[in-house]
C-alpha cells in the first residue's frame, strides 16, 4: 500500500469495490503527482462498476455526473469521485462527448485520456498499470498524447491549452507529434468557451515555468485564438523572455495587460470573462504601475494605490527591470505612512463646516483631499488643531 495520507483516506473505497467483485483504481493526476512527488489535491477513482452498482456498495452517495458515469462518495467527512470505465464518441460541441458508453475494460478507459502521464492507474495494493508508457514520459519530462494527437485535440481542443499549462507547471517539453498537432489544430481553440480558456490560462500563469508555457502558446499559434492576444506575438515573446517565476497569476495578468492592452485594459480583461472584482484589482495595478514608471515611488502614490496594488506593482516592476523585488521596502514604507486611509484623518466635514460657517458643498471634499495629502507628505501632523491652522494658513477656511 502506498503511504500517502490523501490516498490512504480513499483506499477503503477501492477495497470496498474490489470486495464487491469490481475493479477499482486511482487514476489521472493523483497517480502522476505521486510519481513526481508533487502535492496531491484531488483523487479520482475509476471502476468497472456501473453508477448504479457503485451506489449499492456505499451508503452515502451523490449523483454529480451520473450520465457520464460519475458518483460522489462521502466517506468520513471527505468526498471522492468514482467514475465508471467508459469510452466516448465524437465531441461535436468541442467540450463534451456526444455519447458515453460504459465498459468493463480499464485500458479502454485509459486510452480516451489526454496525455500518457495522465493515463496511468494504481491498485489498492500499490501496483501500477501503465499501458501507454506514461511513467517513461514522466522520467523523460515529456508531454505526449495518448494515441493520435490529432484525435485527442479534435475531440477537445482545450487539451492543447492543458499541454501548455503542464509545460508551465512541470517544466516539461512537448513531444514532436504533439507539438505539430497543436500547430495544425490551434484554430479549433476558437470553439472553446472563454471561461474554460481562462481557467487553463490562470493555471499556466501560476506555474513555476510560466516562461515555457507562454512559449508553447506562441510557438504553436494557440495565442492567436486567445482574447486580445492575436496581434501580440512580439509582446508575448518579450514577456516570455523575462524571468517570471516570482509572479503569481494576478501579477502575471497585470504584466500582460500592461504590455499588450495599451489604454484598453478594461476591455481586454472583460474579453477574458474575468470577475468584476478581479478586473478592478488588475486595472488598479496597471494604473499604479504606469504612475510608478512615470513618477517613481512616493508616499502619495503608495497611499492612493494601497498595499495590494503596490506590492503587485513592485513585483512586476522588478521583473520589467530584471532585478530583485523591492516589495519588502514598499511594505515597510506603507507601514510607516502617517495614515493609510481617509477614515484615519483627524478631520471631518462637520469640523470644516463648524470652523468656516459654510454650508455643505464640494469644497468640503477638496479640503479633505488637501489635508489628507498634507498629512501623508508629513507637512503637518494628523492632529485636528494643526490641520485647522494649516487650512487657515492656506486661506481655505
**Which pLDDT score, from 0 to 100, does residue 8 have?**
83
Contact in structure between 260 and 232 (CB atoms under 8 Å): yes
Residue with cell 490562470: 202
**Which pLDDT score, from 0 to 100, does residue 64 have?**
86
96-99 long-range contacts (CB < 8 A, ≥24 apart) are 96/68, 97/155
Rounded Cα distance between 208 and 218, Å, is 18
Model pLDDT for residues 294-325, shown as the tens digit of each residue: 999 999 999 999 999 999 999 999 999 999 99
Mean pLDDT across 318-337: 96
Rounded Cα distance between 79 and 61, Å, is 9
Rounded Cα distance between 281 and 339, Å, is 22
Q: Is the pLDDT score of 93 beyond 70?
A: no
Model pLDDT for residues 358-396, shown as the tens digit of each residue: 999 999 999 999 999 999 999 999 999 999 999 999 998
Give the pLDDT band of residue 98 (cuts 50, 70, 90).
low
Rounded Cα distance between 43 and 31, Å, is 9
378 by Cβ neighbours in 10 Å (0-12 / 13-18 / 19+) ranks as exposed
The structure's pTM equals 0.91
For the chain, give the mean pLDDT: 94
Rounded Cα distance between 322 and 208, Å, is 17
Rounded Cα distance between 118 and 30, Å, is 9
Model pLDDT for residues 138-164, shown as the tens digit of each residue: 999 999 999 999 999 999 999 999 999
Which one, of 45, 46, 76, 49, lies nearest residue 60 by Cα? 76
CA dihedral of residues 282, 283, 285, 289 (deg, nearest 10): 140
Mean pLDDT across 80-104: 78
**Which pLDDT score, from 0 to 100, does residue 77 have?**
84
Which one, of 350, 342, 344, 336, lies nearest residue 378 by Cα? 336
The pairing of strands 142-143 and 173-174 is: parallel
Contact in structure between 165 and 204 (CB atoms under 8 Å): yes
Model pLDDT for residues 244-291, shown as the tens digit of each residue: 999 999 999 999 999 999 889 999 999 999 999 999 999 999 999 999
**Which pLDDT score, from 0 to 100, does residue 80 have?**
92
Amino acid at each position: 500500500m502506498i503511504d500517502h495520507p490523501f490516498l490512504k483516506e480513499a483506499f477503503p473505497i477501492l477495497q470496498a469495490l474490489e470486495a464487491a467483485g469490481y475493479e477499482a483504481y486511482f487514476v489521472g493526476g493523483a497517480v502522476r503527482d505521486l510519481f513526481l512527488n508533487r502535492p496531491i489535491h484531488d483523487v479520482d477513482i475509476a471502476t468497472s462498476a456501473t453508477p448504479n452498482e457503485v451506489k449499492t456498495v456505499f451508503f452515502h452517495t451523490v449523483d454529480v455526473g451520473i450520465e457520464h458515469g460519475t458518483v460522489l462518495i462521502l466517506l468520513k467527512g471527505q468526498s471522492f469521485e468514482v467514475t465508471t470505465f467508459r469510452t466516448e464518441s465524437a465531441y461535436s460541441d468541442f467540450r463534451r462527448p456526444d455519447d458515453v458508453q460504459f465498459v468493463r475494460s480499464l485500458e479502454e478507459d485509459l486510452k480516451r485520456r489526454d496525455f500518457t502521464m495522465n493515463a496511468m492507474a494504481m491498485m489498492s495494493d500499490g501496483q501500477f498499470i501503465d499501458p501507454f508508457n506514461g511513467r517513461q514520459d514522466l522520467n523523460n519530462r515529456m508531454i505526449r498524447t495518448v494515441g493520435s494527437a490529432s484525435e485527442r485535440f479534435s475531440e477537445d481542443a482545450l487539451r492543447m491549452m492543458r499541454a501548455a499549462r503542464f509545460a508551465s507547471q512541470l517544466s516539461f517539453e512537448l513531444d514532436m507529434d504533439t507539438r505539430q498537432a497543436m500547430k495544425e489544430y490551434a484554430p479549433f481553440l476558437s470553439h472553446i468557451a472563454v471561461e474554460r480558456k481562462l481557467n487553463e490560462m490562470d493555471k499556466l500563469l501560476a506555474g513555476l515555468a510560466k516562461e515555457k508555457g507562454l512559449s508553447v502558446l506562441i510557438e504553436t499559434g494557440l495565442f492567436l485564438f486567445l482574447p486580445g492576444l492575436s496581434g501580440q506575438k512580439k509582446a508575448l515573446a518579450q514577456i516570455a523572455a523575462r524571468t517570471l517565476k516570482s509572479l503569481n497569476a494576478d501579477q502575471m495578468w497585470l504584466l500582460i495587460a500592461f504590455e499588450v492592452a495599451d489604454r484598453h485594459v478594461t476591455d481586454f480583461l472583460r474579453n477574458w470573462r474575468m470577475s468584476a472584482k478581479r478586473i478592478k484589482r488588475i486595472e488598479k495595478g496597471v494604473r499604479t504601475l504606469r504612475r510608478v514608471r512615470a513618477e517613481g515611488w512616493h508616499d502619495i502614490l503608495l497611499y492612493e494605490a494601497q498595499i495590494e496594488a503596490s506590492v503587485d506593482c513592485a513585483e512586476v516592476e522588478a521583473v520589467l527591470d530584471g532585478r530583485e523585488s523591492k516589495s519588502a521596502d514598499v511594505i515597510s514604507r506603507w507601514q510607516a505612512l502617517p495614515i493609510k486611509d481617509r477614515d484615519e484623518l483627524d478631520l471631518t466635514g462637520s469640523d470644516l463646516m463648524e470652523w468656516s460657517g459654510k454650508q455643505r458643498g464640494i469644497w468640503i471634499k477638496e479640503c479633505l483631499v488637501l489635508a489628507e495629502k498634507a498629512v501623508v507628505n508629513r507637512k503637518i501632523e494628523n492632529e485636528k488643531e494643526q490641520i485647522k491652522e494649516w487650512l487657515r494658513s492656506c486661506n481655505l477656511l
